[in-house]
Structure 1
Amino acid sequence: MTILVIEDDVKTGDYLRKGLLESGYNADLARNGTDGLHMALEHDYELLILDVMLPGMDGWQVLAEVRRVCDVPVIFLTARDQVDDRIRGLRLGADDYLVKPFSFTELVLRIRTLLRRGAAREPDTFELADLRLDPTRRKVMRGGLTIVLTNKEFLLLHLLLKRQGEALSRTMIASEVWDMNFDSDTNVVDVAIKRLRAKVDAPFEHKLIHTVRSIGYMLAEQP
């Protein structure tokens, strides 16, 4: 497994690379944000360790550009210790945030945790027939045409594709997509399915979203 360290402080960067090598990882080192971004996009790293205050491009900019392309795990390792900084890093898509000075043992434990999660990361794309959903880029296409969905419609289709071939109850769908307990007097799921069908199924001859009587809905080539 190869980890990319993007750190401009020479002593810290060398220390991190040496420690990672001794811990059984391959490690590359970039000493500014511009080089770090180039390396992150050119190579398939298992994880990035990223400082915030970097020459060329700061860590915020590097992470924003990386997240436009891939979902590689990222740990911020920085002296920026304000709560607002932590929130900003996590909102930009960082998986963890560790403040300097730091314990190298703790860093390695956090790396191992993220890499274990990474082993179960979902596929880059979900496909069924001519329907394709890209979670990272939040794109949906069918028959070569781009389909524009609202946020909830995207989450609903994502769920149906992840569980394709399974009959999903309205209660389960409401819990996963709306984070709510399903109320039998509320037709939020049925309305959302109707709108999703209008975009994903109606323009096409072959229908993929099916009603499962007395249960809920299913995404499949055949009901």
Structure 2
Amino acid sequence: MRILLIEDDPLLGQGVQLNLQQRGYRVDWVEAGEPGVNAVFELQPELVILDLNLPDIDGLEVLRRIRREVELPVLILTARDAVNHRIEGLDNGADDYLVKPFDLDELEARLRALQRRAAGRSQAMLTYRDIRIDTQARQVFFLEELITLGRREYELLVYLLESAGRVLTRRQIEEQLYENDLESNALEVHVHNLRKKLGKELVKTVRGVGYFVES
């Protein structure tokens, strides 16, 4: 999942970005509101983590500008802990509200919940035919047998299943999962491994374009 972090505190921003990247997320980080609004439209993230106390414009104004143009999950991350602040944030279109200081495990749990909600799932379970994925435990079951996947294989599988019926280009996959940092044949190797572990008919190839799974 590609996340845009709008946070002006350099230590906190760097810490959140690094931690989430280590957990398999792609995180773009900007330190002010105006570039944050621009990044929403340029980078097209799947979720935004938004601080309210920004140096140029208030985070609520950033939220209102985002909401006027796009629908995507927004998690407010702020030191404003009064009830009226939470109500104001939620009423302006935020999907969740987390007060600083916070636990990184709780932040990730909230991100997973927002991701499930955006994908139309209320439980931490993604099911596709004979495949069942516990997205909280990051466990994959095929024909009710636990299957061991590498981190990149797991992320590719979830991305393909959540995009079932849609062809994903090689560039889309690389930008989403690999940040363009992979060897020339790494994607093909991961696709091959998924077919070997989960059935050769799972991932379809559109020659010269990319990959997809049937809806």
Q: Please confirm whether the aligned pair reaches a TM-score higher than 0.5, indicating the same fold.
A: yes
Deviation at 1:102?
0.2
The answer for the alignment partner of 1:24 in structure 2 is 24
SS in 2 for 1:68: helix
Q: Normalising by the residue count of structure 1, what TM-score does the alignment of the two structures yield?
A: 0.53
Q: How far off its partner does 1:43 sit?
A: 2.1
Q: Hey, what does 2:4 align to over in structure 1?
A: 4
- Give the corresponding residue for 2:191: none
User: Quick one: distance in 1 between partners of 2:33 and 2:52?
Assistant: 9
Matches within 5 A, 1:1-223: 1-120=1-120
SS at match of 2:69: coil
The equivalent residue for 1:148 is none
Question: Structure 1, residues 18-52: CA drift from partner, whole Å, max 9, x if none?
Answer: 01101100000000111111101222211000000
Q: Deviation per CA, 1:127-158, whole angstroms, max 9, x where unpaired? A: xxxxxxxxxxxxxxxxxxxxxxxxxxxxxxxx
Deviations 1:94-142 (A, max 9, x none): 0000000000000000000000111129xxxxxxxxxxxxxxxxxxxxx
Letter in 1 for 2:26: N
- Aligned pair count reads 121
CA distance in 2, matches of 1:71, 1:83: 25
Report the secondary structure of 1:3's partner residue. Answer: strand
Question: In 2, distance between residues paired with 1:55 and 1:21?
Answer: 25
How many percent of aligned residue pairs carry the same amino acid?
A: 49
Name the amino acid aligned to 1:67: R
Please give the alpha-carbon distance, in whole angstroms, between the structure 1 residues aligned to 2:43 and 2:58: 20
Between 1 and 2, higher relative CO (CA 8 Å, sep ≥ 6) is seen in 2
**1-side partners of 2:41 and 2:83: how far apart?**
29
Distance in 2 (CA, whole Å) between partners of 1:44 and 1:34 is: 15
Q: Which runs of 5+ in 1 are unaligned?
A: 122-223
The two structures, once aligned, show a CA RMSD in angstroms of 1.0
Name the larger-Rg structure: 1
In the alignment, the residues of structure 1 paired with residue 63 and residue 23 of structure 2 have an alpha-carbon distance, to the nearest angstrom, of: 25
User: Quick one: distance in 2 between partners of 1:69 and 1:35?
Assistant: 16
Letter in 2 for 1:40: V
CA distance in structure 2 between the partners assigned to 1:117 and 1:92 by the alignment: 19
Aligned partners of 1:105 and 1:9: how far apart in 2? 20
TM-score by length of 2: 0.55
Partner Cα separation in structure 2 for residue 53 and residue 73 of structure 1:
19
4+ runs deviating over 3 angstroms: none
CA distance in 2, matches of 1:86, 1:70: 22
